[in-house]
Each structure stands twice: as structure tokens, then as C-alpha cells.
Chain A
């Protein structure tokens, strides 16, 4: 007949095991096996939840942007369509699956927006910015930003990014990059077309207005299929585009 261990023995055994496990864990810093921990290279600039760098820091918010947009940007950095050496270096080897997982992580983050500092500009300049965002400029053949980036400028699923809550420096740098070809998208590259139709002063105006624009209460992107692009846009016509 098998010997049953007494209750006391069982207790002592569990206690010893517990103590042993505790000391084993205390030996090493405990590193959580989470995606957040794995992507320290991303979060050190973009924030733990993709909130972007604080204040007027350059690094853009990623939280809540459409996942397909974020994944596409990682791919564009990898392929050299977007030129920014630190990003190109960091993502150069990531697999499509890992990039999608990282994009999904940031797309799912919901963190409050922060009001960004903007340069002091004349009211006429900000008015010009608002005009470009809400009505565009037919004389320059520039459509309003709202036409694709959403009525609330929170983006459109799955691949049009929101424009609210981004730093002035980042917004104006992106429009500049489209003019110099250091940021590009699938042909035909409608954002390159639009950026080249704007004047340099228009870029300042639109970036400043967007950066100072109040973030709406609901920051979710508009649903897919809710926009009719005013220009021929390669990125919206690929599978899973926004149109």
C-alpha cells in the first residue's frame, strides 16, 4: 500500500519550492516576455504606447494610427521609399510578420493626445492653413486634407493616417520630404503631387494649423470605404486601401 505523505510534509514541500523559485528569479533581472519589452528600440523614441515624443519633440505619435498604414511605413523604410537613416537601420531586417505585429500593437494603443507647441504665426497664416485643410485650394489643384484624412482628421482605415496630435516639426518635415523624394509611396504618389503643388509658406501654414488643431473626442479612424479620393492614389488602390 503506497505511503501517503502527511499534510505537514506537503506544506513544507510547497514552501521549499516557492522559496527556491523566488531566489532563482531574484538572481536575474526579470524581463517580461511581452512585445512591449521586445520593441524597446521603437518605444524609446515613440513612447511606450506610441504617444510620440513629449513637447515639441520630433518623433511622431503612432498610437491609434491604422495598422495597415503603420505596417506599410515600416515596409517603406525597409525598401528605402522613406528615407530616414535611424528608421531604415532599425527595421532593415524585420520580417513582414514581425512588422505587422508591431504595427498592430501601436494601432491598438489608446493614450490621450497632448497639445503640441507651434511657432507663433500671424492669424492670416493660420487661416490659410485652415483653408487648405478644410476646403483646399482649387487654383493650385490642392484638395482639402479632410477629403482623405477624414472629416475629423483622424485618418481612414486601413491605410490613411490621422493628422491630429502630431508635432509641427514632423508634419512640415513630411511635406518637405515628399517634395524632395525622401518620402514616397506606391505610384501614383498623390501626396508627392499635392506637396509639390503647395508653396513653402503653405507647408508652414498647414503644418502649424494641424499641430494646433484641437484633437476631437473620438480619435478613431473613419471606416474603410468612406472616402472618394480626389486624386489618383496608388496606396489607396492596392489591396486593403482606404478607398
Chain B
């Protein structure tokens, strides 16, 4: 029995060690020193704040850091991931629940290295994998703008991640695989506009966070940047952005890209799903120069390998016939007999990137959900499409989407009834 009684020694030792470890991990830094006077002056400079506002729009910070119906930037939106949900924090300058006690150095460390105010590793739902490319000056301007917002008191929501993903220290391993800190380095062989476009797309715009495939661990592991990928947990497909041979935007001119980002629609198609929100909240506010720069950069993305479309493993004629019949009665009046659309009003479906993306998710959801084109300054009263979720069953949706994906010049794989079932749920986030 004596040996058992002595067990208290290792137990107490373990508790003491845990307490020390916890204290080391959670102690607050010594009372925040005052901001460096030069930095403090810049944080109050209206020109810097205005620049920061523009950059915050370019980064679309508001989309994640605002809850449905909530105050802008006050956080509270739970970002869905395959590992559980992650609440976006309050980034207004409220001292207790927001960034009120942050100095610029804290902000820079979060944005550039993905490390929080108290030294904790941040979950990469906050896209520091892209924001690390943002320059020090731009980060300072964004921080100045955020600090100029009216403070909103809104406590942080609890983390909705499941075990083991809620163990923050595991992020250290994740970061060694997927995260490479470093400000954007201009390519001297390219023009200033190209470099500006690359900086916006790779950095603040964090386009690659959606427009590239993610692996089992939620890291971007696509063979090439911006080559398209399914958005986990949100169930939309963010298409490949190459305009070269076999690229999903093949045939898009620079003006088409600018039009879509500025107005929400171009001669080639309409932004839908999460991209519609991004156009409305972010890209429509960018200057024409920046939009042209983005277009120039995207147009330089390389050509893609040709994707082989496997022939259907069954006789698809009955499916296509049924789809054509539905198309003729429900779609043709707006999208045209040959899927040509109506210029400036309804998008063409022949060659449309949302129709042709590899999974068929976007086309299925467009048919089920319908909805308005993005509301932008240049298109304040957009036309809309009826939702067909109430009118068409899963087999009908599969038929019409399959027909559209193979009609005219379109050659994309069929979708099946069982695919439609998966995406019938209406997303509200």
C-alpha cells in the first residue's frame, strides 16, 4: 500500500507542471506599451485611414467578420469548415471584446504570421496563408481604419471545432506543411500592373483560399494556384481562373474579368453563390486600375492540362431528352434556344464557367436556388432567376443540368439524381 500512497508525488508534480505550462501559455504580455509615436501618428492620419478602408474592402474583411444582421466588423459569423465552425472575432476597437487593446505590432503578427494577441496560434480560417503577403504599410493602413471604426461590444462566440481539431497546439504541425510567411516579392520581369494584380490576388484578395483544391487537412494542396476547387462545407465550386488553353476562363478578355468584378456580370456569365457576395462587398469597390491589374495577372496564368471527360457509363439519351424538354419549357425564354442568353440581362449558358465546372454543383444550385445577380453600383436593380427547388424534383434537375452541360459546345460530365439530393439544402451562410 505504501507504493500506492507515494503516487501523490508524481500526481502533484504533474499538476504543478501543467499549471506552469498553462501560465506560460496564457500570461498576458506586460502591460501593453504605448504605440511607437511615429506609428501612433499614422494611425490617426485621415489619408492612411482612407487607404485602409479601401484595402479592407479589397480584402473583403467584412464578409467574414460580420454576423447576419450584425454590426459590420463586429464578428460573430460562424465560418463553417469540415472540422466544425470557427467564429470570426470582433475586429472593432472595443477594448474588451475587440481589438481595442491591440497595438499595431499585435495586428501585424496576426496578419503576417498567424499568431494571436496572446501568442496563440490562429486557425487558418483566418487566411493568413494569403495575408502574410500584405506589406507592412498596407497592414498599418488597415489597422488604422479598423481602429477608427465605432467600437462595438460583442463577445466572442465559442469555438465550434470538434476534437482533435480544437487542440490549438496541433496547428504548429499544420503550419510547417501549409504556411510560408513572407511579404509579396515583386517579379522584376513583369510590369507594375501585373505585380499589383498578383499582389492583390495572392495577398489581400485571398482568391486562392477558395479557387484551389484543399486536402484532407484543410490545406491548399492544388497542383497549381487558382486552378479551381470545391469550397469545403459551403458546397460551391470556385472555378479555375486561367484564361489560357483548357482554362475554365478560356476566351475571357481582360474586360470580361473587369466587368464581372465591377458589375457582377460579364458577357460570359454572372457571379453566383459566394462570389456574388464578394463582388457586392468587395470587388465592385476596387478602382479601375486595380481591376485591370487583376485581369492582367489572371490572364497570365498558364494553360491547363486537358481534362478527359469520361463517357457516361449508361445510355444517357433519355436523360438528355427529358432535360431538353424541361429546358425548352422553363429556361429557353431567357437563356435562348442555343444557350446564348440575352446580352446584359441573362447570362449565356453555352460555354458558361458555372455550367461547365467539373462537379456540376454550381449549375445544380443555380437551378435550385435561382436568385438575383449581384447588386452593385452599376447594376442596382439586377434581373433574377426563379428558384426551381419548389417546382422540379431531383430527377428533373439532374436531367436539365445534364442537358445544359452537354448541349451546344458544352462537354461536361452528366449529373445524377443522387448528386442533386446532396445540394438541395438552401445555404444561408
| Residues of A participating in the B interface, judged by any CB pair closer than 8 Å | 28-29, 31, 35, 37-45, 78-81, 85-86, 88-90, 92-95, 97-98, 101
The answer, yes or no, to whether B397 is at the interface (CB within 8 Å) is: no
Q: Which residues of A contact B390 (CB under 8 A)?
A: 44-45, 86
Q: Which residues of A contact B68 (CB under 8 A)?
A: 78-80, 88
Cross-chain contact of B387 among A31, A39, A86, A94 (Cβ < 8 A) = A86
Q: Which residues of B contact A43 (CB under 8 A)?
A: 386
A38 CA to B381 CA, complexed, in Å: 8
Q: Which residues of A contact B382 (CB under 8 A)?
A: 38
Q: Is the CB of B276 within 8 A of A31?
A: no
Q: Which residues of B contact A29 (CB under 8 A)?
A: 333-334, 336, 342
The answer, yes or no, to whether B389 is at the interface (CB within 8 Å) is: yes
Q: Which residues of B contact A92 (CB under 8 A)?
A: 277, 428
Q: Is the CB of B69 within 8 A of A79?
A: yes
Cross-chain contact of B428 among A31, A37, A39, A88 (Cβ < 8 A) = A88
Q: Is the CB of A81 within 8 A of B69?
A: yes
The answer, yes or no, to whether B183 is at the interface (CB within 8 Å) is: no
Cross-chain contact of B384 among A28, A31, A40 (Cβ < 8 A) = A40
Q: Is the CB of B69 within 8 A of A78?
A: yes
Q: Is the CB of B370 within 8 A of A31?
A: no
20 further interface pairs, Cβ-Cβ under 8 Å (given A37-B383, A40-B385, A41-B372): A28-B336, A28-B342, A29-B342, A38-B383, A38-B384, A39-B384, A41-B384, A44-B390, A44-B391, A45-B390, A79-B68, A85-B428, A89-B371, A89-B426, A90-B371, A90-B372, A92-B428, A93-B277, A93-B374, A94-B375
Q: Min CB distance, B90 to chain A, in Å?
A: 18
Residue of B nearest to A42 (CB): B384
Residue of A nearest to B386 (CB): A44
A94 CA to B381 CA, complexed, in Å: 9
**A/B interface sample: 5 pairs, CB < 8 A:** A38-B384, A79-B68, A85-B425, A89-B426, A101-B381
Q: Is the CB of B372 within 8 A of A93?
A: yes
The answer, yes or no, to whether B280 is at the interface (CB within 8 Å) is: yes
Residue of A nearest to B384 (CB): A41
Q: Which residues of B contact A28 (CB under 8 A)?
A: 336, 342-343
Residue of A nearest to B365 (CB): A89
Q: Is the CB of A41 within 8 A of B343?
A: no
Residue of A nearest to B344 (CB): A31
Mark interface residues in B268-295 (1 if CB within 8 Å of A CB, else 0): 0000000011001000000000000000
| Residues of B participating in the A interface, judged by any CB pair closer than 8 Å | 68-69, 276-277, 280, 333-334, 336, 342-343, 345-346, 369-372, 374-375, 380-387, 389-391, 425-428
A51 CA to B336 CA, complexed, in Å: 28
Q: Is the CB of B69 within 8 A of A93?
A: no
Q: Is the CB of B280 within 8 A of A93?
A: yes
Q: Min CB distance, A182 to chain B, in Å?
A: 12
Cross-chain contact of A35 among B280, B346, B381, B425 (Cβ < 8 A) = B381
Q: Which residues of B contact A35 (CB under 8 A)?
A: 381
A78 CA to B280 CA, complexed, in Å: 15
Q: Which residues of B contact A38 (CB under 8 A)?
A: 381-384
Q: Min CB distance, A30 to chain B, in Å?
A: 9
Q: Min CB distance, B366 to chain A, in Å?
A: 12
Q: Which residues of B contact A78 (CB under 8 A)?
A: 68-69
Q: Is the CB of B69 within 8 A of A80?
A: yes
Q: Min CB distance, A33 to chain B, in Å?
A: 9
Q: Which residues of B contact A44 (CB under 8 A)?
A: 370, 386-387, 390-391
A95 CA to B284 CA, complexed, in Å: 14
Residue of A nearest to B280 (CB): A93
Residue of B nearest to A75 (CB): B69
Q: Is the CB of A31 within 8 A of B346?
A: yes
Cross-chain contact of A89 among B345, B369, B383 (Cβ < 8 A) = B369
Q: Which residues of B contact A37 (CB under 8 A)?
A: 383
Q: Which residues of B contact A85 (CB under 8 A)?
A: 425-428
Q: Is the CB of B389 within 8 A of A93?
A: no
* List of 6 A-B pairs having minimum Cβ-Cβ separation, nearest first: A79-B69, A44-B386, A41-B384, A85-B426, A80-B68, A88-B428
A97 CA to B384 CA, complexed, in Å: 16
Q: Min CB distance, A132 to chain B, in Å?
A: 31
Q: Min CB distance, A48 to chain B, in Å?
A: 11
Residue of A nearest to B390 (CB): A45
Residue of B nearest to A78 (CB): B69
Q: Is the CB of B334 within 8 A of A98?
A: no
Cross-chain contact of A31 among B277, B342, B427 (Cβ < 8 A) = B342
Residue of B nearest to A39 (CB): B384
Q: Min CB distance, A124 to chain B, in Å?
A: 35
Q: Is the CB of A90 within 8 A of B334?
A: no
Q: Which residues of A contact B381 (CB under 8 A)?
A: 35, 38, 98, 101
Cross-chain contact of B276 among A45, A80, A93 (Cβ < 8 A) = A93
Q: Which residues of A contact B372 (CB under 8 A)?
A: 41, 90, 93-94
Cross-chain contact of B426 among A39, A86, A95 (Cβ < 8 A) = A86
Residue of A nearest to B369 (CB): A89
A98 CA to B345 CA, complexed, in Å: 17
A171 CA to B280 CA, complexed, in Å: 35
Q: Which residues of A contact B427 (CB under 8 A)?
A: 85, 89
Q: Which residues of A contact B333 (CB under 8 A)?
A: 29
A88 CA to B372 CA, complexed, in Å: 12
Q: Min CB distance, B10 to chain A, in Å?
A: 51
Q: Min CB distance, A11 to chain B, in Å?
A: 32
Q: Min CB distance, B78 to chain A, in Å?
A: 12
Q: Which residues of A contact B387 (CB under 8 A)?
A: 41, 44-45, 86, 90
Q: Min CB distance, A181 to chain B, in Å?
A: 14
Residue of A nearest to B70 (CB): A79
A79 CA to B345 CA, complexed, in Å: 28
Q: Is the CB of B386 within 8 A of A41?
A: yes
A35 CA to B385 CA, complexed, in Å: 13
Q: Min CB distance, A62 to chain B, in Å?
A: 15
Q: Is the CB of A41 within 8 A of B385?
A: yes
* Residue in A38, A89, A90, A97 with the greatest tally of chain B CB atoms within 10 Å: A89
Residue of A nearest to B69 (CB): A79
